[in-house]
Amino acid sequence: MTESSLVTTRSQATYNELCSVIPGGVNSPFRGYQEVGGSPVLFNKGQGASLSDLDGNTYLDYVGGWGPMILGHGHPRVAGAVKEMLDEGFLLGSSHPLELECARLVQKAFPSMAMVRFVNSGTEAVQSAVRLARACTKKDKVLRFEGSYHGHVDGLVDAFGVRKIEGTGVPESIARNTLSGPFNDVEALRNMFEHHAKELACVLVEPVAGSMGVVAADPEFLKALRELTSANRVVLIFDEVLTGFRVAFGGAQERYGIQADLTCLGKILGGGLPAGAYGGKAELMQRIAPGGPVYQAGTFSGNPLTMRASIETLNILAEENVYDELDRTAGMLEEGLVAAAKSAKIPVQVPRVGSMFSVMFTHRPPRNIRDAEFADSKRFAAFFHGMLNRGVFFPPSLHDAAFVSTAHTRDDIEKTVEAAEEVFKSL
């Protein structure tokens, strides 16, 4: 796959117009190219493992809509189900039988979720789970980990453990109830509990972090989390927005054999439509309104259109046993990228869990954000643009996860590795 003279004039013109009416020209900062430079390419069609932009260029896609598109773009069963639902109504203002069917599928994947509440995003799921934990424990503080991303919830936006409250719109009175600790550090975790257990409502953790590169929690770290939270009446919340239905059908809880008290889902759950969910032990979930005092609501929560897409997506994932093949495909890509970098004598790590991975220009795999911050950002930017010019779209972000879908073929992987070989040699 050779480098092309990429023409993106229509993308650039449209982006410039967007900037006049939408802050930064994007409705989510991840879509901007702040970390890599240049003007974002704008896509107008996705099919299978490919994207097409406004200028007619095509790309192999490893962003996958930032995680949801595990089946690739335009899967015929999911698209067909959504089209059928459009004729029946997509916002009816009441509960719907599809919500029951979808909840049962979620429970099948996550046995720890005795009860489920659907929302519209991962951010809503996390926000609601934290509120519920505070109500159930009558405590206020939240422990989360440096480098993890849990949405744009006030008090949790401190993505890299560095407090920059001034000018962010997050009051210090809210921020002070959030504690940040180093990821994968059992000694530091025990120290946090020794000093703060009596005021901790919950611990919020990504079992596999996806915003410091892909970093799996050490088994000892997860075990310590489970033991310490259980012993101190602290709610353990797994943020499986990225890992749910991705690293296994039952997410990280299935993969690592440790169950949470509350679980947050999103991304893949919606089959490409906006969706989120949180759930867990019945004694906790029964405190949510209208049965309990913890208020949470949403006009579009559990809407039939999203539920139909969710059901079809989850049925495909459960029926077709896609995870072994996803692992093989992603493993082939990992091996190819590592070999290409080694041949070019470029220090590159490709940490991977299942079908989520990252490309890190470092000498060793990161175990936390402090390791990840040593990654060479200039080389990554050059890598990103080199791959883009060869028709391969990676996340335009130094620390964010990339994804393989069931639509990626062996030929796609070979083309990607061929492009990477050329790019690495040019760095």
Q: Catalytic: which of 53, 158, 239, 376?
A: 239
| Cβ–Cβ under 8 Å, residues 122 and 278 | no
Q: In what order do the strands lie in the sheet with 235-239?
A: 115-119, 276-280, 262-265, 235-239, 200-205, 141-145, 178-181
Q: Catalytic: which of 62, 267, 323, 376?
A: 267
Mean pLDDT of the chain: 95
Give the C-alpha separation, 182 to 368, whole Å.
7
Residue with tokens 């069963």: 77
- Rounded to an integer, the average pLDDT of 324-343 is 98
- Rounded to an integer, the average pLDDT of 117-124 is 98
Query: Is residue 185 annotated as part of the catalytic site, yes or no?
Result: no
Where in the chain are the domains?
9-62+321-426, 76-319
Query: Is residue 154 annotated as part of the catalytic site, yes or no?
Result: no
Give the C-alpha separation, 151 to 122, whole Å.
7
pLDDT digits (tens, 9 = 90+) for 126-167: 999 999 999 999 999 999 999 999 999 888 875 444 445 566
The confidence score (pLDDT) of residue 159 equals 44
Quote the pTM value: 0.96
**Topology of the domain comprising 9-62+321-426:** Aspartate Aminotransferase, domain 1 (3.90.1150)
Q: Residue 171: which pLDDT band, with cuts at 50, 70 and 90?
A: confident
For residue 114, the SS3 value is coil
The confidence score (pLDDT) of residue 1 equals 60
The confidence score (pLDDT) of residue 165 equals 59
pLDDT digits (tens, 9 = 90+) for 309-331: 999 999 999 999 899 999 999 99
CATH of 76-319, one of 3.40.50.11540, 3.40.640.10, 3.40.50.150, 3.30.1600.10: 3.40.640.10
205 or 4: whose pLDDT is higher? 205
Q: Catalytic: which of 59, 62, 149, 256?
A: 149
Query: Is residue 267 annotated as part of the catalytic site, yes or no?
Result: yes
Give the C-alpha separation, 89 to 391, whole Å.
39
- Rounded to an integer, the average pLDDT of 343-371 is 97
Residue with tokens 């290409």: 340
pLDDT digits (tens, 9 = 90+) for 61-75: 999 999 999 999 999
Element (DSSP H or E) covering residue 115: strand 115-119
Q: Which two tokens stand for residue 283?
A: 């004694």
